[in-house]
Amino acid sequence: MKNNFKWLAILFAATISNAQQKNTAEKIFINGNIITVDAKNSTAQAIAVSNGKILAVGNNSTIEKLKDKNTVVIDLKGKTVVPGFIDGHSHFMGLSRSATVNVGSPPMGTVKNIADLISRIQDFQKEKNIAAGEWIDAYGYDQDQLEEKRHPNKEDLDAAFPNNPVTITNINGHMSVSNSYALKLSGIDASTPNPAGGAIERKKGTNEPTGLLQENAGRLLKRPAKPAPSLDDQIKGLNEQQLFYASNGITTAQDGYTSFESLQLLKKAADKNALFIDIEALPGYPTLDKVLENPEFKFGVLKNHLKLAGTKMVADGSPQGKTAFFSKSYLVEVPGCNHDHCTGFPNITQEQFDALVIKTFQNNIRPFVHCNGDATIDMYLKAIENANKTLNVNSSDRRPVTIHSQFVRPDQLDDYKKLGIIAALFSNHAFFWGDVHTRNLGIERASFLSPLKSALKKGVVATNHTDYPVTPLNQLFLLWTSVERKSRTGQVIGPDERLTPIEGLRAITINGAYEYFEENSKGSIEAGKLADLVVLSDDLTKIEPSKIKDITVLETIKEGKTIFKKD
């Protein structure tokens, strides 16, 4: 009997050895135009995949040697393949498209003026059969794209909705307008003081609110709690959102300010193996203590497609909304500012900033901080330097992230390099608000918005993102804005900051992987990495740059399996 066991062990070992030597692929892709995004930006013709990972990359003849009778062979017929897109920053859980009405202007929506906006909400009210007294939420208005060139006010909404509280949130997510009904329910009136890090806009010469609530003032609204959908319904919603991201070629998504409730849902979905793209969750800093107290949540570990990548803090507001914090004044009138030096304002104090960074470093949690204006970035830099000195650590080991870095200065990029800070930039601003920034800040500051080229030249790792739902999730449109930087009126906003197409692709693939400490497993098409791939309709490196935005995603593959295919 002992000899039989010995013989079986030898046979088993030989079988394993033969399989390892054979090294056959489960699936191979041939006849493709493979843009690998490796260190040399090399191209290839074919890919072999096994167990969800890339087995080999090369030409057809080399890769076809790895097939056997069971290997699935996919003929790409010359189509272009790139690594799966890695979302530098968006809000995966942030917008329920069924619970709000879109009042965005083109291309985000169809609203052209305030009358259109009100009509869209009225249609939504009828469609959803919303009863008197129920709160109505709308999202996406952009005052700079409305024909009136102003924010709506409570009177605009009062006439159309006398019996419902109504709140419309700005496209930037940093301010909203409510009607009188909603303000009254929330106890917001002329006697209500501005909260820390927020402002209630008042009618000129009075303390009466106009309805516009900026930054933390929006937290004064008191919406009634709504019953949560069933777990099955919530997971169904997650499935639809994942498909939406996959249809844009995204294989790794970010939820850029995760509530505790959303984190619990994502964990339940992960435990049920209901996630099929990777979700990088960033619990909001105000909930961090609660997350740390819960042993089921662990930072920095990707499991069942879910990882807590760090914590997110919003340190200032929106440059187009004129609430981002600058060292120099805006050049135009700023709502709520009644003096000549209107620079916007931070949402937190320097002391709070210092405490935030120290707490994250002590707990080995990465800080992801929303900073748009250069004065806010100064505060972040100071907080990181303080933490390094206080704790005797090196921030480069932690790779802190500055989300948006919309108006970072050249000298601050030097500090990014020194401190190991990742610049999560947002080139869509050039198209959507480049003209607005030129008017609000002047051509010099506007031209340096999201300075991807300067960051790369200085050796700073820079990623690019859509901040969805602030701008469309379309990754090819995003790549186009990094290459051409054209505004809505066709002006080039900062010609020196334009990227080459391959640099633009690296910003949303391998650099995105680096942002999440995953550059060894994602972000390029190389042996040993996950088989996260996107099949495109055209070669972005050869097509005319103006047409990059028109490229479509034909197929998205996550770990060797197709998760989206265009009809």
Tens-digit pLDDT profile for residues 111-128: 999 999 999 999 999 999
Query: What strands, in cross-sheet order, belong to the sheet with 250-258?
Result: 85-86, 250-258, 278-283, 306-308
Mean pLDDT of 410-426: 98
Mean pLDDT of 338-360: 93
Q: Is the pLDDT of residue 15 over 60?
A: no
pLDDT tens sequence across 432-447: 999 999 999 999 999 9
The predicted pLDDT at position 14 comes to 39
The predicted pLDDT at position 85 comes to 98
pLDDT greater at residue 407 or residue 174: 407
The predicted pLDDT at position 460 comes to 98
> pTM of the prediction?
0.88
Query: For 38-42, 86-90, 204-208, 253-257, which range has the lowest pLDDT when averaged over its residues?
Result: 204-208
- Rounded to whole angstroms, what are the CA distances from 337 to 153, 201, 328, 330, 340? 17, 9, 14, 11, 8
In sequence order, the 6+-apart residues with CB closer than 8 A to the CB of 160 are 118, 121, 122
Nearest 10 degrees: CA dihedral of 446, 451, 457, 459? Answer: 140
The predicted pLDDT at position 108 comes to 83
Q: Is the pLDDT of residue 171 over 50?
A: yes
The residues with which 533 forms a beta bridge, in sequence order, are: 83, 557
Mean pLDDT for all residues in the chain: 93
- Could you tell me if 258 and 270 are in contact, meaning their C-beta atoms sit under 8 angstroms apart? no
The predicted pLDDT at position 227 comes to 78
In 221-371, DSSP assigns E strands to 250-258, 278-283, 306-308, 311-314, 367-371
Question: What is the DSSP secondary-structure string of 40-77?
Answer: T--EESEEEEETTEEEEEE-HHHHHTT--TT-EEEE-T
- Give CA–CA dist 420/64, Å, rounded: 42
Q: Is the pLDDT of residue 95 over 60?
A: no
Q: Are strands 27-30 and 72-75 parallel, antiparallel or unpaired?
A: parallel
- Give CA–CA dist 408/411, Å, rounded: 8
Mean pLDDT of 376-384: 98
pLDDT tens sequence across 264-289: 999 999 999 999 999 999 999 999 99
101-115, 173-187, 374-388: which has the highest mean pLDDT? 374-388
* CA within 13 Å, CB half, 117: 30
The predicted pLDDT at position 96 comes to 54
- CATH number corresponding to 101-220: 3.10.310.70
The predicted pLDDT at position 22 comes to 54
What are the residue boundaries of the structural domains of the chain, listed by start? Answer: 2-78, 101-220
- CATH number corresponding to 2-78: 2.30.40.10
pLDDT tens sequence across 544-557: 999 999 999 999 99
pLDDT tens sequence across 56-84: 999 999 999 999 999 999 999 999 999 99
Burial of 123 (0-12, 13-18, 19+ CB in 10 A): exposed
Using pLDDT thresholds of 50, 70 and 90, give the confidence band for residue 13: very low
- Give CA–CA dist 227/203, Å, rounded: 36
The predicted pLDDT at position 392 comes to 98
In sequence order, the 6+-apart residues with CB closer than 8 A to the CB of 344 are 316, 317, 322, 323, 324, 325, 326, 330, 334, 373, 375
In sequence order, the 6+-apart residues with CB closer than 8 A to the CB of 332 are 322, 439, 440
Using pLDDT thresholds of 50, 70 and 90, give the confidence band for residue 173: confident
Chain-centroid distance of CA 16 in Å reads: 44
The residues with which 80 forms a beta bridge, in sequence order, are: 33, 536
User: b vs e for 532-554, b when ≥16 Cβ sit within 10 Å of the residue's Cβ?
Assistant: bbbbbebbbbebebeebbebebb
CB atoms within 10 A of CB 233: 10
pLDDT greater at residue 483 or residue 145: 483
Q: Is the pLDDT of residue 1 over 60?
A: no
Q: Is the pLDDT of residue 422 over 70?
A: yes
Mean pLDDT of 123-151: 91
- Could you tell me if 470 and 429 are in contact, meaning their C-beta atoms sit under 8 angstroms apart? no
pLDDT tens sequence across 517-547: 999 999 999 999 999 999 999 999 999 999 9
- Give CA–CA dist 406/450, Å, rounded: 5
